[in-house]
Amino acid sequence: MPRASLFKIFTPRRLLWGLAALAALSLLIWALRPAPISVTTATVARAPFEDAINEEGRTRLRDTWHVTAPITGYLRRVMLEVGDQVDQGQVLFRLEPSPAPALDARSREQAEDALQAARARLQAAEANLETARAERRFAEAEYQRYRRLHERNLVSTADLEHRESLRDRQRALERAAASSVEAARFEVESAQAVLAVTSGQRSPADQPTLELAAPVAGVVLERFRCCEGTVDAGQPILEIGRLADMEIRVDLLSMDAVRLRPGMAVRITGWGGPVLDGRVRRIEPAGFTRTSALGVDEQRVPVIVDFAPDTDPAALGLGSGFRVEVEFLIWQDDDVLQVPTSALFRHDGRWAAFVTEAGHARLRHLKIGRQSGLASQVLDGLDAGERIVTHPSEALVDGAPVRDDT
């Protein structure tokens, strides 16, 4: 084509319009391209790793003693207070007989009448005793007279034996009369005791008291009764325990409890002091159901933890019923390739994560080992130093452009 014809086709005006169309097309392509997704990332690194179970626990005493009232009686004031130290055999509290009830007007009149009747019976019994004594003296005198006459052969042996029988019978009657007098005196004393109770006052100070001693040396954990008053048999008064026998009870989920073994090391924190060491002593064989704060029924298993032998929890200020945090160490290593657990998700039935490469997200399937809280062990699929997306959103797909806002 001749050069002149080319100049006619590519005129400056047409060139200007072509450049404008090309610029507009470029702007359209740039506007329609997908915008990078904002993500946060973390570095895959090797570091110490611990597979641990963390749970809240409560301190308690292995053995406690409830000291109760052995009989129904009147409790004198308990002077011991919670926290007081007691020695074995020390008197904890005292019981005395219950005070007699007060008498109303009718009961008092009946008691007065009963006293007068008892006194009358006593007088009658004393009179009968005097009569029996006189009859006994006469019978003895008759017997002595007949015995002397028998020695002189003036009376028969049968008459002597008859007088002897009369004498013995009078002696027995005298003893019976004496017993009747004693019984009448007891009735008078009983009636006087009933009449003496007018306002339900306690017994005199010389009444016998029952002293209850401490079964072991320890500290008073709880005082159920402090003031004077009537108590029933079996009613608890004090609870005693030894702070040296302190342990921790932790209620673990059953799926976590099966991973523990007696003797496993634990760390005790969250009690207001330094980290303490301990050991799992017992995993109880029976669980129970507990409803969580979200209303979900959970199967829990009690796990008992002992403090280290060189730890005195009482000296550190711990007592029974204190809250602690217990960390059970299942497994640990100083060099483990690990990633944040928040970066993992399930994809096609396998663990997966997104890795950033040249501004794009790349899907990786991983082989995960142990998991402990915020970190998870990586067995295959990642190398140390790579950047992994944490908290991936549903919009993130393989190959999507990303912008790291970490």
Token pair for 298: 């959970």
Are 291 and 317 in the same domain?
Answer: yes
What are the b/e assignments for 125-153, b being 16+ CB within 10 Å? bbebbeebeebbeebbebbeebeeebeee
- Determine the Cα–Cα distance for residues 303 and 284; give it in Å rounded to an integer: 6
**Predicted local distance difference test score (pLDDT) of residue 148:** 87
Residue finishing a domain among 307, 332, 357: 332
Are 127 and 148 in the same domain?
Answer: yes
Are 105 and 200 in the same domain?
Answer: yes
Are 202 and 256 in the same domain?
Answer: no
Q: 3-state class of 11 per DSSP?
A: coil
List the CATH number of the domain containing 89: 2.40.50.100
Are 110 and 233 in the same domain?
Answer: no
Residue 107 lies in a domain: yes
Are 184 and 219 in the same domain?
Answer: no
Span 101-111, average pLDDT: 72
Question: For the segment 172-226, what is each residue's pLDDT rounded down to a tens digit?
Answer: 999 999 999 999 899 988 888 777 665 455 555 556 788 999 999 999 999 999 8
168 phi and psi, to 5 degrees? -65, -40
Residue 86 lies in a domain: yes
Task: Kindly report whether the global pTM for this prediction surpasses the value 0.75.
Answer: no
Question: For the segment 315-369, what is each residue's pLDDT rounded down to a tens digit?
Answer: 898 988 999 999 999 888 889 999 999 999 998 889 999 999 888 889 999 999 9
| Count of domains forming the chain | 4
Are 126 and 192 in the same domain?
Answer: yes
Span 99-103, average pLDDT: 65
DSSP-derived letter for residue 225 is -
Are 195 and 183 in the same domain?
Answer: yes
Are 254 and 121 in the same domain?
Answer: no
List the CATH number of the domain containing 387: 2.40.420.20
Are 175 and 230 in the same domain?
Answer: no
Residue 345 lies in a domain: yes
Residue 393 lies in a domain: yes
Q: Confirm if 372 and 51 have CB atoms less than 8 A apart.
A: yes
For residue 30, is pLDDT > 70? no
Residue 15 lies in a domain: no
Residue 20 lies in a domain: no
Residue numbers of the domain that contains 82: 64-96+209-241
Q: Confirm if 347 and 315 have CB atoms less than 8 A apart.
A: no
Q: Of the given ranges (132-136, 242-246, 263-267, 400-404), which has the lowest mean pLDDT?
A: 400-404
Residue among 246, 371, 381, 216 at smallest CA distance from 306: 246
Q: How many CB atoms lie within 10 A of CB 345?
A: 13
**Predicted local distance difference test score (pLDDT) of residue 209:** 84
Q: 3-state class of 339 per DSSP?
A: strand
**Which amino acid appears at position 10 of this protein?**
F
Strand order in the sheet with 229-231: 210-213, 91-96, 73-75, 229-231
- Determine the Cα–Cα distance for residues 346 and 324; give it in Å rounded to an integer: 35
Are 186 and 236 in the same domain?
Answer: no
Residue 21 lies in a domain: no
Residue 351 lies in a domain: yes
**Predicted local distance difference test score (pLDDT) of residue 6:** 45
For residue 372, is pLDDT > 90? no
Residue finishing a domain among 299, 332, 365: 332
Are 295 and 389 in the same domain?
Answer: no
List the CATH number of the domain containing 315: 2.40.30.170
Mean pLDDT estimate for the chain: 86
